[in-house]
């Protein structure tokens, strides 16, 4: 048996092949190109793909996708693990490739077999990632726009519910300065709002009054106006991109055979929450051999450190942050639809925990339930869960 470590990089990859005794058989570099992949394939054919196990630092990317299509046995060791296993602080790509092969040869428990979810899950995951990125970009640019307006036109921040909304962007595009906005008559403002299909015409008087109220103005505003005009088309495009992704994500999610199963949990009746859970948990059961593994990867379970008589329970920082965010959203929504979830949250709050920690504890409890039902292929039943809690002496609760 041979063990091949791969230190991944953007344009080239370092390979190190070890035999069962730990001796280096071959070291080489390949480019991220067809020629590089052909050299890689020639190396594997020389020793036989069935005789080689591969270890790499990441589970995605073009190289990993290509290796999966070859049907090779691939293991993944996170880069943070490799960093902790280095015998000294110095680092080089060839030495990391050697270390990856060495760890796999020793059957290090952090070398985990690569499992891939279905094509639908990967599609949903990329849409979820794109949506999260779009929302973050929209929030960042909206904060920037709001800051600029506070410098010379603070009233504009309070005309509409959101500064990044299409109606607010359209208003700033036509009336970017307080002088232009104040020159509007009530009739002109009404026509503008109707032309852009503003649904809250009852707010017309309040908007007009805010525009006419005395306000401080900047001596020089041309530079601010120029920046606002740059941000408007960017925010408008992000608005439309977000709307598209919020429609497309649930649509693709519903094509997955387990979509109905995910929507059966309390709080998963909305369009985005179950899609995000499927995206980041996936449909490959072997990825999570135990509920504790899933809880650790999700970051809902704390880290316990023991040394002698000292015991420290700490917040888990190394985890899948998108999954933790999705579970936090799910936990917050579940309390509206589940009696035991409401009581469990109240119990955590009574212990003096913060809301964030209480919801994280609730998400951790939900993960245990999700994992158990997921492995069994059973649908969630609130009444049955309440009966189990009562039988276990947790307490009597009424189903909502």
- State whether 90 and 195 are in the same domain: no
Whether the CB-CB separation of 221 and 153 falls below 8 Å is answered with yes
In a domain, 291, yes or no: yes
- State whether 199 and 309 are in the same domain: no
What percent of the chain clears pLDDT 90, i.e. is strictly above it?
Answer: 79
**86 φ, ψ (degrees, to nearest 5):** -60, 135
Neighbours of 353 (CB within 10 A): 15
β-partners of residue 30 are 13
CATH of the domain at 199: 1.10.287.4070
Tracing tokens 């008087």 back to the chain, one arrives at 205
- State whether 160 and 128 are in the same domain: yes
Per DSSP, the residues of 327-352 read HHHHHHHHTTT-HHHHHHHHHHHHTT
End position of a domain, from candidates 231, 251, 271: 251
In a domain, 368, yes or no: yes
333-345 pLDDT per residue, tens: 999 999 999 999 9
- What is the spatial distance between Cα 56 and Cα 152, in angstroms, rounded to a whole number? 53
Q: Is the pLDDT score of 187 beyond 90?
A: yes
In a domain, 398, yes or no: no
Strand order in the sheet with 12-18: 24-31, 12-18, 2-7, 52-56, 74-76, 112-113
199-209 pLDDT per residue, tens: 999 999 999 99
First to last CA, the chain: 58
- What is the spatial distance between Cα 125 and Cα 116, in angstroms, rounded to a whole number? 12
- What is the spatial distance between Cα 367 and Cα 265, in angstroms, rounded to a whole number? 11
- State whether 275 and 205 are in the same domain: no
- What is the spatial distance between Cα 53 and Cα 222, in angstroms, rounded to a whole number? 63
84-134 pLDDT per residue, tens: 888 876 778 899 999 999 999 999 988 999 988 899 999 999 999 999 999
Q: Is the pLDDT score of 17 beyond 60?
A: yes
In a domain, 400, yes or no: no
Residue whose C-alpha is closest to residue 238's, from 143, 167, 162, 135? 135
- State whether 155 and 61 are in the same domain: no
In a domain, 374, yes or no: yes
Q: What is the pTM of this model?
A: 0.84
In a domain, 385, yes or no: yes
Q: Are strands 24-31 and 12-18 parallel, antiparallel or unpaired?
A: antiparallel
Q: How many Å separate Cα 11 from the centre of its chain? A: 26
Under the banding of pLDDT at 50, 70 and 90, the label for residue 396 is very low
Q: Supply the pLDDT for residue 305.
A: 79
Residue whose C-alpha is closest to residue 55's, from 1, 136, 91? 1
- Phi-psi label, residue 155: left if phi above 0, alpha if psi -120 to 50, beta otherwise: alpha
- State whether 218 and 267 are in the same domain: no
What's the whole-number mean pLDDT along residues 253-259?
96
Q: Supply the pLDDT for residue 374.
A: 95
- State whether 283 and 244 are in the same domain: no
End position of a domain, from candidates 251, 267, 294: 251
- State whether 79 and 138 are in the same domain: no
Q: Supply the pLDDT for residue 318.
A: 80
Whether the CB-CB separation of 319 and 326 falls below 8 Å is answered with no
CATH of the domain at 32: 3.30.420.40
What's the whole-number mean pLDDT along residues 7-32?
94
Q: Is the pLDDT score of 44 beyond 90?
A: yes
Chain mean pLDDT for the chain: 92
Q: Is the pLDDT score of 398 beyond 50?
A: no
In a domain, 317, yes or no: yes
- State whether 327 and 377 are in the same domain: yes
- State whether 219 and 274 are in the same domain: no
- What is the spatial distance between Cα 256 and Cα 258, in angstroms, rounded to a whole number? 5
Q: Structural domain tally of the chain?
A: 3
51-95 pLDDT per residue, tens: 999 999 988 889 999 999 999 999 999 888 888 888 876 778 899
Q: Supply the pLDDT for residue 394.
A: 61
What's the whole-number mean pLDDT along residues 227-243?
98
β-partners of residue 24 are 18
Under the banding of pLDDT at 50, 70 and 90, the label for residue 397 is very low
Q: Supply the pLDDT for residue 390.
A: 76
Six-digit token pair at 368?
Answer: 């245990």
- State whether 158 and 247 are in the same domain: yes
Which DSSP category does 183 fall into? T
In a domain, 118, yes or no: no
- State whether 131 and 214 are in the same domain: yes
Range of the domain at 82: 2-113
What's the whole-number mean pLDDT along residues 153-160?
95
End position of a domain, from candidates 63, 92, 113: 113
Q: Supply the pLDDT for residue 89.
A: 66
């Amino acid at each position: 048996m041979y063990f091949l470590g791969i230190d991944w990089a953007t344009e080239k990859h370092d390979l190190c092949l070890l035999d069962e005794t730990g001796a280096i058989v071959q070291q080489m570099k390949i480019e991220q190109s067809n020629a590089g992949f052909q050299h890689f394939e020639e190396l594997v054919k020389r020793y036989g793909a069935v005789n080689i196990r591969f270890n790499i630092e990441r589970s995605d990317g073009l190289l990993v996708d290509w290796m999966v299509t070859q049907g090779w046995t691939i293991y993944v060791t996170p880069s943070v693990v490799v960093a902790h296993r280095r015998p000294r602080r110095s680092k080089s790509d060839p030495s990391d490739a050697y270390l990856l092969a060495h760890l796999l040869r020793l059957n290090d428990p952090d070398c985990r077999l690569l499992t891939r979810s279905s094509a639908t899950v990967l599609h949903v995951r990329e849409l979820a990632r794109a949506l999260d990125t779009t929302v973050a970009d929209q929030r960042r640019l909206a904060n920037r726009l709001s800051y600029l307006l506070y410098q010379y036109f603070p009233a504009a921040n309070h005309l509409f519910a959101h500064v990044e909304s299409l109606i607010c962007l359209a208003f700033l595009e036509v009336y970017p300065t307080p002088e232009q906005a104040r020159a509007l008559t009530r009739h002109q403002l009404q026509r503008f709002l109707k032309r852009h299909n503003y649904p809250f015409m009852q707010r017309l008087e309040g908007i007009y009054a805010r525009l006419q109220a005395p306000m401080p103005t900047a001596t020089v505003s041309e530079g601010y106006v120029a920046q606002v005009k740059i941000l408007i088309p960017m925010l408008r495009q992000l608005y439309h991109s977000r709307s598209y992704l919020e429609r497309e994500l649930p649509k693709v999610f519903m094509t997955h055979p387990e979509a109905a199963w995910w929507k059966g949990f309390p709080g998963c009746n909305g369009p985005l929450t179950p899609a995000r859970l499927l995206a980041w948990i996936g449909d490959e059961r072997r990825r999570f051999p135990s509920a504790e593994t899933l809880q650790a990867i999700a970051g809902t379970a704390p880290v316990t450190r023991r040394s002698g008589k000292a015991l420290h329970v700490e917040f888990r920082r190394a985890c899948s942050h998108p999954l933790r965010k999705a579970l936090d959203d799910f936990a917050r929504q579940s309390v509206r639809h589940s009696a035991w979830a409401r009581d469990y949250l109240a119990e955590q709050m009574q212990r003096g925990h913060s809301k964030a920690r209480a919801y994280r504890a609730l998400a951790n409890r939900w993960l245990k339930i999700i994992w158990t039902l997921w492995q069994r292929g059973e649908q969630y039943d609130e009444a049955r869960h309440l009966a189990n809690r009562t039988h276990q002496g947790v307490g009597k609760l009424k189903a909502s």
